[in-house]
Chains A and B, each alone.
Chain A
């Protein structure tokens, strides 16, 4: 029977030859993760149930990245829970400050999540790993607790939606713009409970960093997973990193999709999501004049090396506008080191941007760049919900790194070509 890539992966992991949408299955997982917000609750649940084992100490990652480096005593206590638990159960993949990164950039980079995997994470953006051709989805802490013990999770097999991107991407337009456009078209619950499969000639040519950005934001359309069939681009990324074997799956040509959306993207310009919804999307040239107070370039969506390289190309020889604060946060230590080696960090500091060690802090209004009442920010992050980055009367505009960097220089939201 023809199946989609998601169905094939779920069938394989539940020991079945085929699965159908809406089937309830129990699947073995390849990897599980939690962070300093979600893992403490999972660990509490783990302890309360009196568990005497973890399913595999090499297949669980704990990453203190949200309020780390610890921003106060309470967050220090939460991070300590992870540290203690990792020691107690000899978890191989506990990432301490200085060695850690933003979880969804870090785990693929370290070769810990791989094509063909089933991955669950107590973080909604776990769907990022779909870019590798894995079935990866966000769950709550209790589900993580159960999975850490048993290595298994129950799922309802999602219907799949197909998104086909045709044409050729123009300058300054990338994966972030494709996903913002897509969410703008289908809405924040347009893919609720579904798997979004991204395909087409544009995806075939898209670098991994952009593929990660797209799958990262599948949850902003309500999806259970975003997924891209692995290909030579994936192979190039994974080889040399993979810590174990992996498998490539593809949807059968006649697989059943619940719906198919097809767009020619050749005339696209960079997209911006206006407050307070990731679906409130317009091309950058159609944004009303918006003077900004802050720019954040980073996060699990757009804090990768390629994103920093784009930002540096724009900031080189320029300065952040007076009255604007620009925060740049390499998503992992490896990205930070590469940016250091190639002179990007110097470009940023010369431009009078602030460069931080990896953290999720500003994306969720945790620390490092909280907005005051009435302030406006452009961010390469994934959510612009009311109050997400600070005061309930602040505003967030989501964009790609080029628009964010150009806006930092202009002091208002601009197309990079306007500089």
Chain B
């Protein structure tokens, strides 16, 4: 079992394409989603690979057998290795916490729902991370609760082509959650100050179904064509549509560690394993998912250590 836990917040600073292969749907290359609520998801296996890869670019990292051995001890050896053992690190799927939506007032808002916040609170509790304020209760469809009246036209919030009635009683609850997430989940440092401040002021609560709709229909969908070398124009037959999670999306995953499983006498304990990984990625920019060479998949990682459970 895993003895050490941490919450892993991932904040997208570019579009992210964690794909789910080819689909026969609306989009040729859709992003991975959860089956039951269709929220975008970062599969844990993809995160694990991205984090393992991140070690290679650490200052002082040398590409040699010693380094690979350490990675094998932390993440597990290749499937064809002579001695097989499990890795000591477990990455959970990252779930959706807040999703950016175009707004008439203030450019865009960070939308969330009671369901998304309750799931975040549940995961944090499971990881032994205390302190998240009580989450608001679910709203009726067409209602909203905003942390800041500057988003409203009288009592209405306008997101894309839709209008939501503000329901004020839970404002205080939402404000506390927004402030806490802005402080704990968003990236630190001056470069991100604007976004922390905006998150605290412009987190809006929507009904679960309204939020799900935006998370499904307000992603970044882009056409791709193949350019013909001779004509410089688009070739026929190369058209496809690809989907990305928009920048400014906030996701939450889990990072768990056990003692090293390689069977060595002087194996690392769980806390040391966790500290190694946290040291490598906390506060760093990771590249996750596909289309890395076209600037996709940049996420800022922030970890909160959980108490041992």
A and B bind: no
List residues of chain B with CB under 8 Å of any chain A CB: none
